[in-house]
Amino acid sequence: MYAHGWDERNGGNISLLLDEAEAGDYLDLNHVIRTIPTGFEAPELNGKIFLVTGTGKYFKNVQYDPANNLGIVRLIENGTQAELLWGFTDGGRFTSEFPAHMMSHVARMRVNPENRVVMHCHPANLLAMTYVHDLDERAFTRTLWQMCTECIVVFPDGVNVLPWMLCGTNEIGVATAKKMETARLVVWAQHGIYGAGRDLDETFGLIETAEKAAEIWMKIAHLPRINTITDEQMHLLEARFGVKARDGYLS
């Protein structure tokens, strides 16, 4: 993600739900280093263990010093407290976007119990698009679908969009989770994007595909368009790849 330029400085954050038995193979789950208040409630996540990036930490440094830049936490007391089991060795804590991450996990798990990843980053073309494209979710999604043949196959549920909101708050967490009920991608206008999926590859791939489409759009938006992918062709893709486009998004 850093190599793609999606995570400048301390931009971006990831949370990965760990399997308890798997985490127990590596960690003493009875040894709590310290307890950190979360500032929100998420009873559905009681006892769940997450690997999560740290606040103020740079993605580019994760590979050199994972134990300082990442942490493993277990949510307790209805999600109001997080027990640090590993990491954040300099006394740090989880990303400022922890509420958006945890609330999004709850929302996506309801749709797909296999969901394990929430990923946030600042991809340049998607961000650029939010300055010049209508933020209507259907219009935004249709534009992306038209930019690469595979888009509708990769994200048939489309891309939801939040208007600019103050980041790092419970309010944007609640709003993001609400948007996650109907799509695995949520754009934060003038800020970045959230993706959710079963594993890191799937989630990365979702964002990568949407960002590629946005890049194409930024290359062509100012030029007269003489070709496109038609809705009729989108229906052929649905049939060929066994996907169903979001209701009402195709004619």
Supply the residues annotated as catalytic: 97
Q: Which helix H or strand E contains 250, and what residues bound it?
A: none
Compute the least distance from the CB of residue 66 to ligand 2HA, in Å.
18
At residue 181's C-alpha, the angle toward residues 163 and 75, to 5°, is 100
Q: Which does 69 bind (CB under 5 to 8 A by kind): ligand 2HA, Zn ion, none?
A: none
Compute the least distance from the CB of residue 237 to Zn ion, in Å.
32
* DSSP per residue, 85-114: EEE-TTS--B-TTHHHHHHHHHHHHHH-TT
Closer residue to ligand 2HA (CB): 13 or 115: 13
Of the candidates 120, 126, 146, 156, the one whose C-alpha atom is nearest the C-alpha of residue 241 is 156
For the chain, how big is the Rg over CA atoms in Å? 19
Q: Which does 66 bind (CB under 5 to 8 A by kind): ligand 2HA, Zn ion, none?
A: none
At residue 243's C-alpha, the angle toward residues 240 and 249, to 5°, is 110
Q: Which does 197 bind (CB under 5 to 8 A by kind): Zn ion, ligand 2HA, none?
A: none
DSSP letter for 249, please.
S
With 0-12 / 13-18 / 19 or more C-beta atoms within 10 angstroms meaning exposed / middle / buried, residue 169 is: middle
- Rounded CA-CA distance 7/65 in Å is 17
Compute the least distance from the CB of residue 118 to ligand 2HA, in Å.
12
Q: Which does 10 bind (CB under 5 to 8 A by kind): Zn ion, ligand 2HA, none?
A: ligand 2HA
Binding positions for ligand 2HA, rule: CB under 6 A = 10-13, 96-97, 120, 167
Closer residue to Zn ion (CB): 79 or 192: 192
Asked if 192 touches Zn ion (CB under 5 A), the answer is yes
- Rounded CA-CA distance 41/193 in Å is 23
**Residue 140 · residue 159 · CB < 8 Å:** yes
Closer residue to ligand 2HA (CB): 127 or 151: 127
Compute the least distance from the CB of residue 169 to Zn ion, in Å.
12
Q: Which does 13 bind (CB under 5 to 8 A by kind): ligand 2HA, Zn ion, none?
A: ligand 2HA
Closer residue to Zn ion (CB): 17 or 100: 100
Closer residue to ligand 2HA (CB): 105 or 120: 120
- Label residue 207 left, alpha or beta by phi (over 0 means left) and psi (-120 to 50 means alpha): alpha
Task: Name the amino acid, one letter, at 155.
Answer: F
Compute the least distance from the CB of residue 11 to ligand 2HA, in Å.
4
What does the binding site for Zn ion look like in residue numbers (CB under 5 A)?
192
